[in-house]
Chain A
Amino acid sequence: MNFLRRKFYSYYLQPRIEFPDRIERREYAFILFNEDTMHRHISFSSKEAILTYFKANVPAHAYYSSAYYRIPSASTMKEKQWMGADLIFDLDADHLPNIENLTYEETLQEVKKELLKLISFLTEDFGFGKQDIRIYFSGGRGYHCHISNKSVLELGSQERREIVDYITARGLEIKEIVGERSIYKDRYIDKRIEIYPDHGGWKGRIARGIINFFKQIKSMEREDAIKELMKIEGIGEKTAEALYDALTDERMRRIEKGMIDQASEFRRIVKPLIKRLAVSLHSEADEPVTADIKRLIRLPGSLHGKTGLRVTKVDIDAIEDFDPLTHAVVFGDNMIKVNVEKPIKIKMMENVYELKKGVATLPEYLAVFLVARRMAVA
């Protein structure tokens, strides 16, 4: 631990902290090295005071409140007097399916996909401008998205939950977003679904999602298409074949116009598609953090004690290019000897490292990362 603390200290002598607006209205919290408890209810009156704290205490983790308070250092919510809070979305890898089998880099790549979906919701549906949205790499396994637009600051937790439910499609009722029509033929009633690609909201999203999905299926070779269809839960080989074979040019044209002739086919694919289109924000079991109007969030520019990476701003137009293991690295390449505890392959600062168990001499940035992740000891 002393090793990490020393390294953090060297960074905190001249850190690049990005201070939140209304510094003096925020609560700050820190976890120090070799301690489990969080030091809470701290407030600062200036940037200098924060920097001094960093130098003096060298925290392993640093947070500030998304909320701003009249008295941020008070110890109860009531005394703090809540005034408003930024809207924060927390995208973390922990809950994504099959994440255990992925490497750190792949994991972050998965979270990025969710991030891009989130941004599309925030800009197209919620109408936020790109300048309203700030994205940060969390330093750990995810991204945070901050919105400080005036219109959201005073939303209560119920209202924030509605926003979360929107982007995660929780509570979405299919009957509210598609039309169902009964077509009377001579002897039977045929149900037809109507979808609305030109509409806003989920109504339009799901319609465009369905159209794109069928287009993609139609453009595939039969075998691949069937495989793709079978990836959908509840669709077996027979149904997949039937679906593919029924997808004539005429049928496709009708779908593009928003008409789906067989209601039952539609029902099969609509739910899984919604799932794909929705943002996977956090696990069901977690208290929905976005709805929390008083949560703590990592301070941009501080270091994450479990990776040594910096909480780093990501340019919204260059998300694809952001590589945490290059852009969030603050340490240099002086060589340091560490004891690697298990074999690992990793790409950092554009270099690929394949390490075996045992003593190795590594650049400082990699050494810090491995020690912080407890994959090596100094």
Chain B
Amino acid sequence: MPPILFIFILFNFVDLFKLAKYPFMAEAKEWVKEQKVNIEEILFDELYERARQRGIERVKQALEKGIIYDTPLINDVDCAMEIFSYPIARMLVVAVESDYLLRRYALAEAKRAYENMKNEEEDFISYLAKELGVEVNGEKIHFADYLKYAPTWDMKWKLVNRELKNGYVILSKNEVARLIQEAIRKKIYSELSYIFAPPEVKKVFRNEIIAIKSRIAFKDKSVKMKEVKADYFPPCIKSLVSAAKSGINVPHVGRFTMVTFLNAIGMSIDEILKIFSSSPDFNEEKTRYQIEHITGRISSTVYAPPKCDTIRTWGLCYPDEYCRGIKHPLFYYRRRRK
């Protein structure tokens, strides 16, 4: 029996199963350390083959599906392998050296945690939140933390539509989990941005790295826009397009603004789709569905691009000198294209 099975600490509510579900927790890191396994063992020892396979699977699922699926956790060995697979996956992600993968992976891990959190007790969620530096008090959260993590581009999440009392926003359990998802994503992303993979990692996973890189290249194909004069896009649209192209997660309202605008000036669905293809949570089917929906291809309504006022509310307006007197981004484009 490997030594890993003998030592593990029971925290108040953090047992090995919890750590397997939330391997980014400080306790998981602590646990791994206490196993006193060195990096060579993890990378080469047969004992950890299962963890390595799962690590690869984590990264592949993140890349292809945008989320990491649970594996059955029946006994302590399952849990141990699952926990070890997390640092392995991280090393692999970093070894690929792609910011796109990094973002997508961080999001996928966070989404998995979110799905799991839905079934947790409130106490555990508060505990987890605290570890991430988010002060959750039952179902209340301080507005400053709320603003840091809430997807406020969604009308439902805008602070103004929330119950705010004495500095605290009142949320449901799932909503708390959603905020923590974002905190997790940020944490993982920023941790990964600062670490380097040991050279052995590149050796051990050489084949996987090559395969992943080519998948990324395929997904990340650069996009050329034709006929449409991108130079004359208003600054708000320009910044959205370039954000989307470089794989930065564009908020929902930003997508909405961009899609309705591009559709209105006559860009095809395929072309629009291409712009999104490097987004970290790109899901072709879903994105196509959304675009077709917004542009009226599968529904009866064609949504019009929002007015400048609205875009401004969403914090997406970066006016330049041509924006003076402009009330609608389409006017901007039409005026300048003449």
Interface residues of A (CB under 8 A from B): 124-128, 151-152, 155, 157-159, 161-163, 165-166, 169-173, 176-177, 199-204, 284, 288, 291
Q: Pick the interface stretch among B7-15, B115-123, B156-164.
A: B156-164
Q: In angstroms, how far is the closest chain A Cβ from the Cβ of B148?
A: 7
Contacts of B156 in A (CB 8 A): 173, 176
Contact: A152 with B144, CB < 8 Å? yes
**B152 within 8 A of partner (CB):** yes
Q: How far is the CA of A201 from the CA of B165 in the complex (A)?
A: 6
Q: How far is the CA of A199 from the CA of B163 in the complex (A)?
A: 7
Which of B155, B156, B165 is most buried by chain A, counting CB atoms within 10 A of its CB?
B165
Interface size on B, residues (CB 8 A): 24
Contact: B165 with A173, CB < 8 Å? no
Contacts of A165 in B (CB 8 A): 158-160, 313
Contacts of A172 in B (CB 8 A): 160-161
Contact: A201 with B166, CB < 8 Å? no
Given the known A-B contacts A201-B163, A284-B309, are A171 and B144 also in contact in the complex, defined by CB atoms under 8 Å?
no
Contacts of B315 in A (CB 8 A): 157-158, 161, 291
Contacts of A162 in B (CB 8 A): 147, 152, 158-160
Contact: A163 with B168, CB < 8 Å? no
Q: How far is the CA of A333 from the CA of B192 in the complex (A)?
A: 68
- When A and B form their complex, which 7 residue pairs have the shortest distance between CB atoms, in order from nearest? A127-B167, A200-B165, A159-B147, A201-B163, A176-B161, A127-B166, A151-B144
Contact of A201 among B148, B152, B164, B313 (CB under 8 A): B164
Q: How far is the CA of A288 from the CA of B165 in the complex (A)?
A: 24
Q: In angstroms, how far is the closest chain B Cβ from the Cβ of A196?
A: 9
In chain B between 139 and 181, which residues have their CB closer than 8 angstroms to a CB of chain A?
142-144, 147-148, 152, 155-156, 158-168, 170
Contacts of B147 in A (CB 8 A): 155, 158-159, 162-163
Residue of B nearest to A175 (CB): B161
11 pairs of residues in contact across A and B, judged by CB atoms under 8 Å? A124-B166, A126-B164, A157-B315, A162-B158, A165-B159, A166-B159, A166-B160, A170-B313, A172-B160, A199-B165, A200-B166
Q: How far is the CA of A200 from the CA of B169 in the complex (A)?
A: 9
Residue of A nearest to B152 (CB): A162
Which of A124, A151, A162, A288 is most buried by chain B, counting CB atoms within 10 A of its CB?
A162
Assuming A159-B147, A162-B147, A173-B156, what are 12 further A-B pairs, CB within 8 angstroms? A127-B143, A127-B167, A158-B152, A158-B315, A165-B160, A166-B159, A170-B160, A171-B313, A173-B155, A176-B156, A201-B163, A201-B165
Contact: B170 with A200, CB < 8 Å? yes
Given the known A-B contacts A155-B144, A155-B147, are A169 and B167 also in contact in the complex, defined by CB atoms under 8 Å?
no
Q: How far is the CA of A151 from the CA of B168 in the complex (A)?
A: 12
Interface residues of B (CB under 8 A from A): 142-144, 147-148, 152, 155-156, 158-168, 170, 309, 312-313, 315
Q: How far is the CA of A363 from the CA of B42 in the complex (A)?
A: 87
Contact: A200 with B160, CB < 8 Å? no
Q: In angstroms, how far is the closest chain B Cβ from the Cβ of A240?
A: 29
Contact: A159 with B160, CB < 8 Å? no
- A interface secondary structure, majority: helix
Q: In angstroms, how far is the closest chain B Cβ from the Cβ of A106?
A: 29
Contacts of B164 in A (CB 8 A): 125-126, 166, 200-201
Q: In angstroms, how far is the closest chain A Cβ from the Cβ of B243?
A: 14
Given the known A-B contacts A158-B152, A162-B152, A171-B155, are A126 and B160 also in contact in the complex, defined by CB atoms under 8 Å?
no
Contact: A173 with B152, CB < 8 Å? no
Contacts of A201 in B (CB 8 A): 162-165, 170
Contact: A171 with B161, CB < 8 Å? yes
Contacts of A163 in B (CB 8 A): 143, 147, 159
Contacts of A159 in B (CB 8 A): 144, 147-148
Q: How far is the CA of A288 from the CA of B309 in the complex (A)?
A: 11
Contacts of B313 in A (CB 8 A): 161, 165, 170-171
Residue of B nearest to A151 (CB): B144
Q: In angstroms, how far is the closest chain A Cβ from the Cβ of B266?
A: 30
Q: In angstroms, how far is the closest chain A Cβ from the Cβ of B172?
A: 13
Contacts of B170 in A (CB 8 A): 200-201
Q: How far is the CA of A157 from the CA of B314 in the complex (A)?
A: 11
Contacts of A151 in B (CB 8 A): 142, 144, 167
Contacts of A200 in B (CB 8 A): 163-166, 170
Q: In angstroms, how far is the closest chain B Cβ from the Cβ of A149?
A: 9
Given the known A-B contacts A127-B167, A200-B170, are A173 and B161 also in contact in the complex, defined by CB atoms under 8 Å?
yes
Contacts of B152 in A (CB 8 A): 158, 162
Q: How far is the CA of A171 from the CA of B156 in the complex (A)?
A: 10
Q: In angstroms, how far is the closest chain A Cβ from the Cβ of B20?
A: 34
Contacts of A158 in B (CB 8 A): 147, 152, 315
Q: How far is the CA of A204 from the CA of B165 in the complex (A)?
A: 10
Contact of B160 among A124, A127, A169, A291 (CB under 8 A): A169
Contact: A171 with B160, CB < 8 Å? yes
Q: How far is the CA of A201 from the CA of B168 in the complex (A)?
A: 10
Q: How far is the CA of A79 from the CA of B159 in the complex (A)?
A: 32
Contact: A202 with B148, CB < 8 Å? no
Q: How far is the CA of A127 from the CA of B135 in the complex (A)?
A: 15
Contacts of A169 in B (CB 8 A): 160
Contacts of B168 in A (CB 8 A): 127
Contacts of A203 in B (CB 8 A): 163
Q: How far is the CA of A78 from the CA of B244 in the complex (A)?
A: 24
Q: How far is the CA of A157 from the CA of B312 in the complex (A)?
A: 12
Residue of A nearest to B166 (CB): A127
Contacts of B162 in A (CB 8 A): 201
Q: How far is the CA of A176 from the CA of B162 in the complex (A)?
A: 8
Q: In angstroms, how far is the closest chain A Cβ from the Cβ of B131?
A: 19
Residue of A nearest to B317 (CB): A287
Q: In angstroms, how far is the closest chain A Cβ from the Cβ of B140?
A: 10
Contact: B163 with A171, CB < 8 Å? no
Given the known A-B contacts A151-B142, A158-B315, A284-B309, are A124 and B165 also in contact in the complex, defined by CB atoms under 8 Å?
yes
Contacts of B312 in A (CB 8 A): 288
Q: In angstroms, how far is the closest chain B Cβ from the Cβ of A1?
A: 31
Q: How far is the CA of A201 from the CA of B142 in the complex (A)?
A: 13
Q: How far is the CA of A201 from the CA of B167 in the complex (A)?
A: 10
Contacts of B155 in A (CB 8 A): 171, 173, 176
Q: How far is the CA of A162 from the CA of B148 in the complex (A)?
A: 11
Q: How far is the CA of A126 from the CA of B309 in the complex (A)?
A: 25
